[in-house]
Amino acid sequence: MKKLVLLFLIGSFSMLFSQRKELDAKLITWENDTVNVKLRVVTNMFWPDLLNELSLNEKLTKINATGKTEKVRATTVKSLLFTDFKNNERRFENILPGRSRLYEVIYDGKIKWYRDYYPHGYDGSVQMTDIFVNEEGKRENVGLFNSMKKKLAIITAAQPSLAPDIEQMKVDREGVLSILKKYEEL
């Protein structure tokens, strides 16, 4: 019982310190209708420009002209475009029609790099999984217990000349992007 009370208090405390902000976005539906909307999103109390992506990936809170909020399910959204609070252009897409989930597009080329955000099972913090999809539609997920280098080697197997570059790359955003751009050139 003490553990339940403690978990409830921790959850309540963290919810008290989350902040809600609004941002302008473009929402593209599956019927290719483009709608300019205001979205309500959750940010961090201590870093107000730090966006919590969990407020975008399954249900969106849209603010209409009268100031009322409306929930929009991700199944109706094909693409979501906006500039975040750090002035970064971001794009989220529903890569599987009918699924109730939006994935952030990190790179869009012959190999597409998506990022899936989901809540941690214990504390609700933001967790991520990277997904690579090549031109044939083959999909590789990079999870907590997978190696980014091994998954890149699998997804770029059509160009074996990239194998030494993958082995020597630094495993960060720039390193992965450099490999994906080299793949485009070959």
pLDDT, tens digit, for every residue of 170-183? 888 898 999 999 98
Binned at pLDDT 50, 70 and 90, residue 17 comes out as: very low
Please give the share of the chain, as a percent, with pLDDT higher than 70: 89
Q: 3-state secondary structure string, the chain?
A: CHHHHHHHHHHHHHHHCCEEEEEEEEEEECCCCEEEEEEEEEECCCCCCCEEHHHCCCEEEEECCCCCEEEEEHHHEEEEEEECCCCCEEEEECCCCCCCCCEEEEECCCCEEEEEEEECCCCCCEEEEEEEECCCCCEEEECCCCCHHHHHHHHCCCCHHHHHHHHHCCCCHHHHHHHHHHHHHC
* Rounded Cα–Cα distance for residues 156 and 40 (Å): 38
What does pTM read for this prediction? 0.81
Q: Cβ–Cβ contacts within 10 Å for residue 113, how many? A: 22
Contact 93, 79 (CB under 8 A): yes
Binned at pLDDT 50, 70 and 90, residue 130 comes out as: very high
For 74-90, what is each residue's pLDDT tens digit? 888 899 999 999 999 99
Write down the residue that tokens 């082995």 correspond to.
Answer: 167
- Apex 22 CA angle, 91 and 28, nearest 5: 35
Residue type, 56: L
Q: What pLDDT is recorded for position 88?
A: 92
pLDDT tops 50 at residue 68: yes
Binned at pLDDT 50, 70 and 90, residue 104 comes out as: very high
pLDDT tops 90 at residue 58: no
pLDDT tops 70 at residue 118: yes
